[in-house]
Amino acid sequence: MPATCTLLAGDCTTRFETTTGDERLQRGRVVVLAKPDRTLLVHDRSGYQPVAWLTRADSLTVEADDRGFAVTAHDAGRTLAVRSHDAGDVVEFPVTDAGVPVGECPDPDCGAALVRAGGDVVCLGCGDGYGLPSGATVHDDRTCDDCGLPVMTVERGASLDLCVDYACDSLTDAVRDVLDRRFDCPDCGRDLRVREHRGRAFLGCDGYPDCETAFSVPAGTFAGECACGLPRFDTATATRCLDGTCELDRPADPEPGP
């Protein structure tokens, strides 16, 4: 489920202290925001910058009852404490990552918006999330026939259209169909096999553990063979050999002029 922000408002004393003896004391009617990442912000009526703040503190506690509230954040020798002098107001709001809309949650009990936030597709309702491989393009007008989640396009030797849910469509299996056993190990001549480590596909020698040669598969499409015998890939930045250190893949020096 989504995390929550706590919004507090009232007549408050704000005290910021450090272990080196620095202290700042303020009082006024303020709005206090306690965020899920343990950031504490205190805003008054003037300006866009908080009058006091502590970002991503080691600890953050919020205590409230019908007499008022107290919020305290500690971090590496610094303390920010806010105490209300009246009952004030305390409200909790659900919050999520903000991202580009890519569809709707297919769960019939949810149906909330799906957004792409950073390297994930997340649901703003139930909080389900799906990690994306590097270079993935998520389509907001195409859904998986099996589960209803968005379809993404990923380039790993070929352009692959897959469900964003790895459990529904395995990227490694798709890469295996494209690259498995197509090339020989440059060190021992055995087949290069598509394997997986922490959700990422790579090409490793079939002779492992006797031969530990391995290459990560770049985000790109197959662009023929390098002079070394390994595949080349068209990536977002360049056309390159599977072996990023391959000397044979470097452009030749220009002919000297007259």
What is the tens place of the pLDDT at every residue in 130-170? Answer: 999 989 999 999 999 999 999 999 999 999 999 999 999 99
pTM for the whole structure: 0.72
Pairing between β-strand 159-163 and β-strand 192-197 as defined by DSSP bridges: unpaired
Quickly tell me which residue has 């959700």 as its tokens.
199
Report the chain's C-alpha Rg in angstroms. Answer: 27
Domain boundaries, the chain: 3-95, 100-169, 174-246
Give 27-69 pLDDT, tens digit per residue: 999 999 999 999 999 999 987 899 999 999 999 999 999 999 9
Q: Which residues of 171-200 are buried (b: 16+ CB within 10 A; e: fewer)?
A: bbebbbebbbeebebbeeebebbbbeeeee
Determine the pLDDT at residue 115: 96
Q: Which residues of 98-126 are buried (b: 16+ CB within 10 A; e: fewer)?
A: ebeebbbbbeeebebbbbbbeeebbbbbe
Confidence of residue 2 (pLDDT cuts 50, 70, 90): low
Mean pLDDT value of segment 93-115: 92
Residues in the chain: 258
Asked if residues 82 and 29 have their Cβ atoms less than 8 Å apart, the reply is no
Tokens of 167: 């459990």
Asked if residues 117 and 138 have their Cβ atoms less than 8 Å apart, the reply is no
Measure the CA–CA gap between 212 and 185, rounded to whole angstroms: 10
Give 168-192 pLDDT, tens digit per residue: 999 999 999 999 999 999 999 999 9
> What is the pLDDT of the chain when averaged over all its residues?
91
Confidence of residue 254 (pLDDT cuts 50, 70, 90): very low
For residue 162, the one-letter residue type is L
Which option is the CATH number for 3-95: 1.10.3470, 2.60.40, 2.70.180, 3.40.1000?
2.70.180
